[in-house]
Amino acid sequence: MKVVLLGATKGIGRAVARVLASRGAQIALLGRDLAEVERSARDLEARGAQGRVAAVPCDLSEPEGFGAALDAAAGALDGFDTVIVTAAAFATQDQLERDTARLQTLLTTNFTNTILFCEEARTRLLARGGGTLCVVSSVAGERGRTPVVLYGATKAGLSAYLEGLDHRFHRQGLITVCVKPGFVTTTMTEGLPRPPFAGSPEGVAARIVRAIDRGTPVVYAPGIWALVMWVIRLLPRAVMRRVKF
């Protein structure tokens, strides 16, 4: 595999990079802070990465640089067949309601700019005859829910986009993998109460890599969330207005 990974310096992305590197994949790590990205590359090499590891700066808040970053990754790896996006912004509903600037950043990062990056990746994958585009969304986008109205809206839109890509480009060789984690214990969720079914970055990474191997279009992580969200989708709106979940 020749993998471009945006968001490899923390949490789920770092765990995914470690799994792939241990299997001999060639990886171009993309991230906002080049020093952090280079440290992540050295970490993989220290752990015995079998394939090439490249570090490329790419800021999800600067879409004008997406194409150049992907082209730099392609140059470092002599092409790529897989693009994984784990980078995202997060804040609680209360924080977003109080801070309009933070809300605007989250909406732009998680929806508009993530899709713009995916579009750059999609065109390059299709130009090479196809490949895999794997993006981390969230169970928060499964239904409108009281605790995650704003964050969940960005993930709902992202999930719908990925499903649409699957319908439109699958026959041309594009494999889309939409990852829907529940609560994961990372620096992003540090300080928040740990709910039932919380996952670890390593556990989620294992499910992501397995889904990429199999070409699974939607994967929940941990797997119990598939059942939980099936129940949530069945609840009447009147019940959803009252529950705090």
What is the Cβ-side half-sphere exposure of residue 208, based on CA atoms within 13 angstroms? 33
Task: State whether the Cα torsion 60-66-71-74 is positive or negative.
Answer: positive
Inter-CA distances, 126 with 20, 25, 164, 228, 235, Å: 22, 20, 15, 35, 39
**Ramachandran assignment for 92, one of left (phi > 0), alpha (psi -120 to 50 degrees), beta (any other):** beta
Long-range contacts of 230-236 (CB under 8 A, 24+ apart): 232/142, 232/143, 232/145, 233/142, 233/143
Q: Are 211 and 134 in contact (CB under 8 A)?
A: yes
Strand positions, DSSP E, the chain? 2-6, 26-31, 53-57, 82-85, 131-136, 174-181, 218-221
Pairwise CA distance, residues 214 & 138, whole Å: 20
Catalytic annotation on 151? Answer: yes
Of 90, 117, 151, 225, which is the active-site residue?
151
Positions marked active-site: 151
